[in-house]
Amino acid sequence: MDLVVRIAGAAGQGVQTLGDILARSLFRRGLYVHGELSYHSRIRGGENAFTLRIGDVPVAATARDADLLLALNEEMLNLYRPHLRAGGRVVADGGVKDDAVTSVPAVRLAREELGLPIAAGVVLLGAVVRLLGLDPGIVADEVRDAFGEKAEPNLRALALGHEQVRGEVGRLPPPQFGRGEKMLLTGGQAVGAGALAAGCRFLSSYPMTPGTPVMEYLARHAAEYGIVVEQAEDEIAAINMALGASYGGARSMVTTSGGGFALMVEGLSLAGMIETPVVIHLGQRPGPATGLPTRTGQENLLFALHAGHGEFPRYLAAPTGPEDAFYLTMRAFELAEEYQIPAIILTDQFLVDSYQVVPALDPARIALRSHVLTADELGRMGQYDRFALTPTGVSPRALPGVSNKLVLVDSDEHDTSGRITEDLAIRKAMVEKRLRKGDGLRGEVSPPEIYPAGLFRGKRVLLGWGSTYGAIREAVEILGEEYAHLHLRELCPLRTEELERVWDEADEVVLVEGTATGQMGKLIAAETGLRPRRFVPRYDGRPFTAQEIVEEVRG
């Protein structure tokens, strides 16, 4: 069972609100959904589309073609009419173009019956709800939530639309889960919630799509959970403020996209040098430069890996979906604190903005531990050296002002006490100390996901990382037994044992990546000498769909 509803309109017509209401209603009804938001970089006009896939099993990818199109204007009708599946229907206002279009006089009803022209979208939504056979009571609850004080006319709009049509498109399956068993959230919300769950106390950032939803999420919960969220004057300030706060003991984070991250790079290197933890959420969008601000891609992999002058360890993880984003963000905070390093969460617009139904999140799954010395521990120490040389490279970390021990960190090369030095023997010891932390970190990295489990002999393996997970998995299911799926989520340090085994066994490895140049292929080649034989690229700013991967792979 796979039903796709697409809501399309101009910015300002309420595509996102209507999409949220429908996604939440279907979730309440006990169905799996995946909702993808695609939009132009503007506040009014342009093209916004919310593509909602509904399933009786978990859905983790978007689709190109829809069964039901809610077109909020004629332009969207013409644009998306070709992307209708066989037997699909369009719900739109105005002239009937063909048999597939069900016309609903939404604007007239909204104006004449409600005196609220903007409610035309909700009228059309009412018609869609009828065609889906969805209980209008569930939708009404979500309309109340979404509109608050302005709910009344919108509830009437929903009912008016519901009366306008007959019949159904597809049949909704019975509920698959009960209340509380599952959760519905976007990747951006998941990163924000993961940060909160990990004890994030400070976020400084400059607004940039698609990094901003994480800042907004934390800002919304800042007062209740005790977090300082500050909009910085620029991204350079953002990361330096975060490092100042982290030095002071606050688990700190920044959120940005490629261009903002570029400005943070010197600060990233500072984090490496002063061994001060910071978590960077890097939501990718296509570049170079400003690129396509509201679209998706995976072009920042090698940039995120190599950014920063000098040599220092870092942690880099690319979540596969919202559930993964929650746990990996928690883990990034823990590893950043434990190893006193910068940790990067690499997402993209598709992941940040897409809704998905996931198993109920369990914050207890990632154990939290304080990694700083207490006043008592410091009191028992004689001399305190912030950068004491240790076998693991990790020096016990004190915060300033909690005991009479002074804490000195320096962006210059420094001795164990943090004082600037040009003693080249100390320099050498400090380089080795910092890099030793990377050895420990390497041992923490989980193996890549291999599907189906077992041997890959004779198989063609689709290789991906990050948010392409759902589309690749679905493609492998369609392609059949000859195919397998290898997926990476923790990318630095890179575990190579499993990769070597896969290359050894498989007939061929096909890289599927949202770039034009195959960056993961270059990374694996650099680390192992192995290269994917084929490459399925995507760099038009749109997310992968299973159907398109299958077409490419089959050639």
Point out which residues bind another protein (CB under 8 A): 179-185, 189, 193, 196-197, 199, 201-202, 204, 221-223, 225-228, 230, 232-234, 236-237, 240-250, 252, 266-267, 270, 274, 326, 360-364, 368-370, 399-412, 418-420
Strand ranges (E), 2-44? 2-11, 32-39
Select from 15, 78, 7, 80 the least CA-distant residue to 43: 15
Backbone angles phi and psi of 315, in degrees to 5: -115, 135
Helix ranges (DSSP H) in 198-346: 212-225, 235-247, 258-274, 301-306, 322-339
CB of 59 to another protein, least distance (A): 17
* Contact call for residues 489 and 448 (beta carbons, < 8 A): yes
Q: In terms of CB distance, is 178 or 443 closer to another protein?
A: 178
Q: In terms of CB distance, is 222 or 389 closer to another protein?
A: 222
* Contact call for residues 467 and 319 (beta carbons, < 8 A): yes
Q: In terms of CB distance, is 201 or 485 closer to another protein?
A: 201
Distance CA 183, CA 363 (A): 13
Q: In terms of CB distance, is 185 or 301 closer to another protein?
A: 185
CB of 98 to another protein, least distance (A): 40
Q: In terms of CB distance, is 50 or 327 closer to another protein?
A: 327
Q: Report strand pairing: 490-492 vs 315-317.
A: antiparallel
CB of 267 to another protein, least distance (A): 7
CB of 523 to another protein, least distance (A): 28
Q: In terms of CB distance, is 369 or 380 closer to another protein?
A: 369
* Dihedral sign for Cα atoms in the order 488, 193, 333, 360: negative
Q: In terms of CB distance, is 22 or 92 closer to another protein?
A: 22
Q: In terms of CB distance, is 173 or 199 closer to another protein?
A: 199
CB of 193 to another protein, least distance (A): 6
Q: Can you name the residues that pair with 6 across neighbouring β-strands?
A: 51, 69
Counting every residue, how long is the chain? 555
Per-position DSSP letters for 53-109, written without gaps between them: EEESS---SB-SSEEEEEESSHHHHHHHGGGEEEEEEEEESS---STTEEE--HHHH
CB of 424 to another protein, least distance (A): 16
Q: Record the tokens describing residue 465, joined without a space.
A: 């990382």
Q: In terms of CB distance, is 212 or 403 closer to another protein?
A: 403
Select from 301, 379, 406, 389 the least CA-distant residue to 345: 301
Q: In terms of CB distance, is 80 or 384 closer to another protein?
A: 384
CB of 275 to another protein, least distance (A): 12
Select from 427, 426, 428, 438 the least CA-distant residue to 393: 438
Distance CA 32, CA 380 (A): 55
> What is the side-by-side order of every strand in the sheet holding 66-71?
101-103, 84-92, 66-71, 2-11, 45-55, 32-39, 355-359, 182-186
CB of 368 to another protein, least distance (A): 5
Q: In terms of CB distance, is 233 or 311 closer to another protein?
A: 233
For residue 175, say if its preceding peptide bond is cis, omega within 30 degrees of 0: no
Three-state secondary structure call for residue 47? strand
Q: Report strand pairing: 84-92 vs 101-103.
A: parallel
CB of 97 to another protein, least distance (A): 39
CB of 507 to another protein, least distance (A): 41
CB of 317 to another protein, least distance (A): 20
Q: Record the tokens describing residue 5, joined without a space.
A: 């509803």
Q: Which residues of 497-527 are buried (b: 16+ CB within 10 A; e: fewer)?
A: eebeebbeebeebbbbbbbeebbbbbbbeee
Q: In terms of CB distance, is 382 or 480 closer to another protein?
A: 382
Distance CA 294, CA 67 (A): 25
CB of 253 to another protein, least distance (A): 12
